[in-house]
Structures are given as structure tokens and as C-alpha cells.
Structure 1
Amino acid sequence: MAINVDKLNHILQNFVSATNDVQGAALVTPDGLSLASTLPVNMDEERVSAMSAAMLSLGERIGGELSRGSIDRIYVEGNDGYGVLSSCGSDAVFLVLASKAVKQGILFLEIKTALSELKLVMT
């Protein structure tokens, strides 16, 4: 079954525009290829996609080695905000970029909702 890329892009665009302090989002394959994205213009989509897939893969391996079970999310905190990586089933990685002002609890809830929508389109 073919993936509806237009629907994926629509979900990402709605997520970014409707969620306070979210600056961008992308859905990538575990191999690091972009399926859909709404990233800031100054970001290299191919590089971000490859790094996102690699980060989640490495995080899953670390979680296993540390006996922490399956990984729910990985996030990177920097001076200018957050990058949150979540597994979207076995076929995709969901990346969200948020500003430092974001309320993390609300962000994680919104990510969970978006993941549900994305998974429906992916199946």
C-alpha cells in the first residue's frame, strides 16, 4: 500500500501551526529518508532526516543495553530549544523542533496525538 505523502504533509503542517512554540517537524524512514517535513528554511532536510534516524536507532540500542526497555522518546536540549524524536511505528521516526519557551508536558501530549494521526496514515 502506498503512503499518502500529501496527508502526511498536511498533518505536519497542522501540527506545527497549531502547537505553540513548535518550529518544525519531519517524518523520516528508519533509513534516514524524508517522508514529509515542515522544517525551518535554513535546515538541510536530508541531513536532518539522516541524523534523526541515526539518533533514534542509537537511543534504542542504548535503552536496551541499560535495561530501560523500549524507548518512548529522545530529546536534545540546547540553548535555543529542543529536538524531540519519537518512533512512529516500525516505519518512521517523528522529529519535532520546539523553542525554549515550550511547555514540555503540553508538547509531549501534542506529539502523542500527532503520532496517532500519522500512524493511521502510515498503515
Structure 2
Amino acid sequence: MLPDALMLEDGVKDIGNKLVSLPSDLQHLLLLLDKAKNLLSRMEQSPSTSMLTTVQPAMKALIAKDLLGHSDMDVNISIASCLSEITRITAPDAPYDDDIMELFGLIVGAFKNLDEVSSHSFSKRVSILETVAKV
């Protein structure tokens, strides 16, 4: 495995472990989710088995009730951004069971205020739209 791939795998593993123990500070959580999105966006579609295994903790953490049901809109947009990347990475296979349809509602819900160009989350909403368009 190339050094860049090893660094990416280590980063994804680290971020997954940090997401499992959800930070209580909102800004720390948003920074963590941004880092997760950036790492996930660097992963190739249909990655190696090793990389898929590495991303599992992050996938599970992102759909945990504490995170998926978060009250902050920026957190929800950040989660949707991460989930859209996971969907791209695992395409054409579905990354989650059929029971987890609410996460797709979260992704679609990110488009709701796409016209708010001055919003803090505007660039993330556009990124989600671009990622979904790739899949």
C-alpha cells in the first residue's frame, strides 16, 4: 500500500474512533465532521477491503441516534455531507440497510435551503449535491 493510502487509512480510522465517542462541544464536533468529510472525499469509489473495514466505525458512528438526531442544522448538514461521500464510496452497493432510510432524508433535506447562499452551510450543501450527482 502506498504511503498516502496508509495515511488516509490511518486518518479514517482515527476519525471513526473519535466520532464513536461523540464530543459534547459543538465547534469540536463540527471540526471533526469536517475532517471526516475531507478524508472521505479522498477515498476512491469501490476501495480495497482493508479500507472498507477501516471506514466501518465512522459509518456506524454517523448513523448513531445521538449524532443522526442532532438538533443543530450545521451538524446535520455536515453529517449529510459525510453520508453522501460514503454513498459514493460504496456505490453501487448500498452502504446501509433499508431500515436506515432517514439518513437519505437527511441528505435530501440538505437541499431544502440551497438558495441561502450566505448560509454557513451553503458550500457543504453544494458539495452534497455534487457528490450525489456523481453517484
TM-score normalised according to structure 1 size:
0.32
Q: Which of the pair is proportionally richer in strand?
A: 1
TM-score normalised according to structure 2 size:
0.30
Q: Which of the pair is proportionally richer in helix?
A: 2
